[in-house]
Amino acid sequence: MDARTETVVEEPRNRASSPEPQWPQVEPTDDAELERYLRQQLRPEHLPEQALGRMETLALQLARIQHASPLIFDQVRLDQPQLLVFAGDHGIADEGVSLSEQGLTRQRVLHMLQGTSLVNSLAEQQGFNLTVVDAGVASHILLPDDAPSQVPLLLRKIGYGTRNMVLGPAMSVPQAIAALNAGMDVVKHLPGNVLALGDVGVANTSCAALLLSRLCGVPLSDACGVGAGPDEVWLKHKLEKLFAAASRHRKAVKPLDALAAMGGFEIAMMAGAMLQAASERRVVLVDGFVAGAAALVARGLVPAVADYLVFAHRSADPGHRLLLIHLQAQPLLDMELRMGQGVGTLLAWPLLQAAQRLLAH
């Protein structure tokens, strides 16, 4: 496909005739025998039970994901790790819920494509293949002819940003399904057995807060953190707009309906990527608050997907902390990060390598 050509998915005219979506089958990883054996093997001599703490838990999760034999733990591999960064814009940005201009989404994508972003440096250091996916940026993404892209850009644009969810649904249900399927399709064509997921999109933390509130019953005032704006007047304005959106879509309570009403194209594609990766027994490294909201949706659609998710870090956003508590997930790091783009997954990657090393030796 020409990198200068972008396709927008059109909505079906007759939604009533659309077939029910079919999600990939995901096998749960529970294995009591494997767990008992592994815990015995990982207990260092003359040291107390669970001396390795949560490293033991992480190693066990890797072994279960790859369905390792209790007798051959060195068969567990972390091969060709991939980092997917999904980018999308949000109509609710028109309501002033973000201090950043919407054009910053496109600018950040361009920096990644040019190889000048922080995530480029970390991905190279950690041996990840980085791919950027245009899920729904509000404008075309074009690089100058004399500045070729340093990383692949996949054009999977569902629309030029979502609609303003204060006025109506962010996207239609068919669009949400198309985005989920697009995320699944991207993963199908990637090698390796490790997938890290990041995001970029102005106002996407507003979507994450709304999804957390709706799918987990968290009060919206708690789900909506200060983010990048410490000003109380601005925060009050943001909350008013999010409450308006939540009220308008109060009937959207199922995961797919909530995603369509209050989510984003990049969130939907991340959720689809999680479903596909889990169905292929890949390890899925989840970044911050927005990727965590995608995990809520994916788990709501296929509960077994949770077995494959490794939460890289706990961000400084209060909503992210509440989301992890609801998921009963222990993140690997707590570095008080305030950025997405998969940076947290790359910082956590050495811990997965250490866990694999423990299994092998």
DSSP string covering 162-177, please? Answer: ---TTTS-SS-HHHHH
Pairwise CA distance, residues 284 & 194, whole Å: 6
Looking at per-residue confidence, does 53 or 194 come out higher?
194
Query: Range with the lowest mean pLDDT among 92-106, 138-152, 248-262, 286-300?
Result: 138-152
> Measured between alpha carbons, how far apart are the two ends of the chain, in Å?
45
Name beta bridge partners: 244.
none
**What is the pLDDT averaged over residues 136-140?**
95
Pairwise CA distance, residues 195 & 205, whole Å: 22
* Three-class DSSP category at 237: helix
**Position 4 confidence tier, pLDDT thresholds 50, 70, 90:** very low
pTM for the full predicted model? 0.91
Looking at per-residue confidence, does 99 or 317 come out higher?
317
H or E segment to which residue 85 belongs: strand 82-88
**Position 8 confidence tier, pLDDT thresholds 50, 70, 90:** low
Q: What is the pLDDT of residues 37-72, one digit of tens each?
A: 877 777 766 677 777 889 989 998 998 998 766 555
CA-based nearest residue to 123, from 344, 284, 356, 278: 344
The confidence score (pLDDT) of residue 231 equals 73
- State the chain's mean pLDDT as an integer: 89
The confidence score (pLDDT) of residue 70 equals 57
237 pLDDT higher than 60: yes
Q: What is the pLDDT of residues 280-302, one digit of tens each?
A: 999 999 999 999 999 999 999 99
Q: Which amino acid is at 142?
A: L
* Three-class DSSP category at 317: coil
Question: Which of the listed ranges 2-16, 223-237, 319-333 does the model predict with the highest average pLDDT?
Answer: 319-333
The confidence score (pLDDT) of residue 259 equals 98
Q: What is the pLDDT of residues 21-46, one digit of tens each?
A: 889 999 999 888 888 887 777 776 66
CA-based nearest residue to 245, from 170, 323, 137: 170
